[in-house]
A and B are shown apart, each in its own frame.
Chain A
């Protein structure tokens, strides 16, 4: 009976991440891939995401420094990659900011790109903190039998 309380907390935290619109179904898909061989599969994938995508973030940041001569094609290409990675882990809000950024690239709106990128970085960092807290709680609670779907 005592064990179920931490697991309820894990489920509640996950539900909250979905309710806030931070995650989508793809996250559940990843959880369903966890098995005895890789019980922390999602955490490993999210760690990899933040490690690999930081290079893309830096490249976009660098490209945005050319304020008066922005290369919108290059920015769009970089953001396309970043969006793909973000959608692979179910990072719903981050993905939405990527879409908005790409729209601004298409219309050649430099200000829009810069503002959206600032918002994207906030969402990206915020999600990281929340997922770290979630994974820490999940590890303390012990392995779940199956991935549970939020309501």
Chain B
């Protein structure tokens, strides 16, 4: 699938990170929305919207990334979810993966990491 037909949701409590990740997604042709925490991510889905990709920050107030991913998966959301965090310790990554995400991306994100992630899950055969 061409990345220009994909949609994404950016979930991060840091305003600057939301802007940067949104701009990165725009630059590779992925239409996207941004929300501030896991609760807002859930609400966006409850309103009927779905996304091909979700970039989910780990540490957020109100509802963190792990809680949000578990909730989304229990709602039957099958989007490709990447956990995005500055944490690098193996134990934390394991917890994140077990919550139901498809990929872990270490911050800071860059275009190369983003396109590799997209190509991994949306390669045109």
A residues with a Cβ closer than 8 A to B are 25-26, 29-30, 32-33, 35, 38, 41, 45, 48-49, 52, 77, 80-81, 83-85, 87-90
The reply to whether B16 and A49 form a contact with Cβ atoms under 8 Å apart is yes
**Segment from B19-27, B70-78, B95-103, B117-125 that makes contact with A:** B19-27
Q: Given the known inter-chain contacts A45-B19, A81-B14, A81-B59, please indicate yes or no for A26 contacting B110, CB distance below 8 A.
A: yes
Shortest Cβ distance from residue A117 to the other chain B in the assembled complex, whole angstroms? 19
CA–CA, A45 and B17, complex, Å: 9
The reply to whether A52 and B16 form a contact with Cβ atoms under 8 Å apart is yes
Shortest Cβ distance from residue B36 to the other chain A in the assembled complex, whole angstroms? 13
* B16 CB contacts on chain A under 8 angstroms: 45, 48-49, 52, 85, 88-89
- Per DSSP, chain B at the interface is helix
The reply to whether B111 and A29 form a contact with Cβ atoms under 8 Å apart is yes
CA–CA, A77 and B110, complex, Å: 24
One of A33, A45, A48 near B27 (C-beta < 8 A): A33
The reply to whether A48 and B15 form a contact with Cβ atoms under 8 Å apart is yes
* A32 CB contacts on chain B under 8 angstroms: 27, 111
Q: Given the known inter-chain contacts A29-B110, A52-B15, A88-B108, please indicate yes or no for A80 contacting B20, CB distance below 8 A.
A: no
The reply to whether A80 and B19 form a contact with Cβ atoms under 8 Å apart is no
Interface residue count on the B side (C-beta < 8 Å): 16
CA–CA, A88 and B107, complex, Å: 8
The reply to whether A48 and B86 form a contact with Cβ atoms under 8 Å apart is no
Shortest Cβ distance from residue B88 to the other chain A in the assembled complex, whole angstroms? 11
* A85 CB contacts on chain B under 8 angstroms: 14, 16-17
CA–CA, A89 and B19, complex, Å: 12
Extra 8 A-B pairs, beta carbons < 8 Å, given A30-B20, A84-B14: A25-B110, A45-B20, A49-B16, A52-B14, A52-B16, A80-B87, A85-B17, A88-B16
* A83 CB contacts on chain B under 8 angstroms: 86
* Cβ contacts A to B, 10 pairs, < 8 Å: A25-B110, A29-B108, A32-B111, A38-B23, A77-B59, A80-B86, A80-B87, A84-B14, A85-B16, A88-B16
* A33 CB contacts on chain B under 8 angstroms: 20, 23-24, 27
